[in-house]
Amino acid sequence: MSDMSQNISQLKTELTSLIEAANDLQSLEQAKVTALGKKGRITDLMKNLGKMDPEERKTTGQALNVLKDEIADLINKQEAALKRQALDLRLATETIDITQSPRPERKGHIHPISQTIDELVTIFADMGFTVAEGPEIEDDWHNFTALNFPPGHPAREMQDTFFLPDDPTEDEEKQKKVLRTHTSPVQIRHMLNTKPPFKIICFGRTYRSDYDMTHTPMFHQMECLYVDKKVNMGHLKGCLMDFVRTYFEVDDMPVRFRPSFFPFTEPSAEVDIGCSREDGGLKLGKASKPENQQWMEILGSGMVHPNVLRNCGIDPDEYQGFAFGCGIERITMLKYGIPDLRTFFDSDVRWLEHYGFDPLDRPNRATGK
């Protein structure tokens, strides 16, 4: 055996002993550096290959490569054994106290708008209403003209909105596009496509170009429509009184109807609910003393105008209907004590945690919980 072969054999014995003696991953890493590192013992021998004659370099190089592979394989096996040993030790010594409460996790909340819509659907479903939907981008005819707002009507100024480019592919009267200013176009579309009688409730985003503490460019509306042969103001009054008393959870809620004007209803009425400030804050319901009774307007209502029925192909001499609508944010603020309309759209998680509802536990009178 040549001197170089003897040196390689001796080196293998020493490195094997060093690796097998490593009893943790840190000492094994040190043994790996000693054997295979840039300044390791096998690397040093390989650096001397250039000084050998070709035949000796070939034989020695092959032997060193074999040694390098054997040492690397031995290191990998020792590393796997040490990791198994460490895991077995952890499993034998570590414990978890399952009696401790888990760390609280942040969970989602139902937005007050969604909560209110769920309540309204439940309340009106009990009265026989079904949900109807329509597009948010409307044409001028559905949004204004069909609802008795002819071009140039002064009531249009109250619903200044966001206008979109005209659509030349549509009929002339439907070319002008707008973001709907109310959900009433849903009623028009339903009356055009459905024969009476019907009772519908519609929800959705609406748009008007104003912004302050009580107005936002986008807000949500709810509207109801009932059309049949013998519908009258008595039906409207009874429906609204049941609605406000159920939603606000006040059995004797005072309700007042005041004459008003809306182009799409005749006669029309604003609806007020009773309130008072006897204890310093706003309280909904009947005041303890008549002189302390106050009123708050919450929605508009009326009998569907004959022109609206005609525009939808319904004979006003045969059918009548009532309609009413309100801002969902408005009644949500009143019921749940939310002081500023703009906070509904701030996307503040802290606000939602305070005013939101647990998705698995949303008690309210409308759902019977």
Give the pLDDT of residue 260.
93
Residue pLDDT, tens place only, 21-66: 888 888 888 888 888 787 778 777 777 777 777 777 778 778 878 8
Mean pLDDT estimate for the chain: 85
In the block, residue with structure tokens 């030790």 = 89
Q: What order of strands is seen across the sheet that includes strand 163-164?
A: 137-139, 177-179, 163-164
Give the pLDDT of residue 269.
95
User: Is the confidence at residue 6, as pLDDT, over 90?
Assistant: no
**Mean of pLDDT values over 273-295:** 85
Residue pLDDT, tens place only, 295-333: 999 999 999 999 999 999 999 999 999 999 999 999 999
User: Is the confidence at residue 192, as pLDDT, over 90?
Assistant: yes
Among candidate residues 255, 257, 235, 236, the one with its CA nearest the CA of residue 244: 255
Residue pLDDT, tens place only, 122-134: 999 999 999 999 9
User: Is the confidence at residue 242, as pLDDT, over 80?
Assistant: yes
Q: What is the pTM for the complete model shown?
A: 0.66
pLDDT band at 91 (very low <50, low <70, confident <90, very high): confident
With contact defined as beta carbons under 8 Å apart, do 284 and 275 qualify? yes
Query: Rounded to whole angstroms, how far apart are CA atoms 331 and 244?
Result: 10
**Mean of pLDDT values over 355-363:** 76
What CA dihedral angle connects 191, 192, 197 and 203, to 10 degrees?
A: -30
Give the pLDDT of residue 368.
53
Residue 31 tokens, joined: 């043994």
pLDDT band at 1 (very low <50, low <70, confident <90, very high): very low
Give the pLDDT of residue 130.
95
Provide the pairing of β-strand 218-228 with 198-207.
Answer: antiparallel
Give the pLDDT of residue 52.
78
Query: Rounded to whole angstroms, how far apart are CA atoms 260 and 243?
Result: 20
Query: Rounded to whole angstroms, how far apart are CA atoms 28 and 72?
Result: 12
Residue 202 tokens, joined: 């519609």
With contact defined as beta carbons under 8 Å apart, do 366 and 247 qualify? yes
In the block, residue with structure tokens 């107005």 = 215
Other residues' Cβ atoms within 10 Å of the Cβ of residue 55: 8
User: Poorest-confidence range of 66-70, 122-126, 201-205, 267-271?
Assistant: 66-70
Query: Rounded to whole angstroms, how far apart are CA atoms 11 and 206?
Result: 83
Query: Which are the contacts of 48, defined by CB distance < 8 A and separation ≥ 6?
Result: none
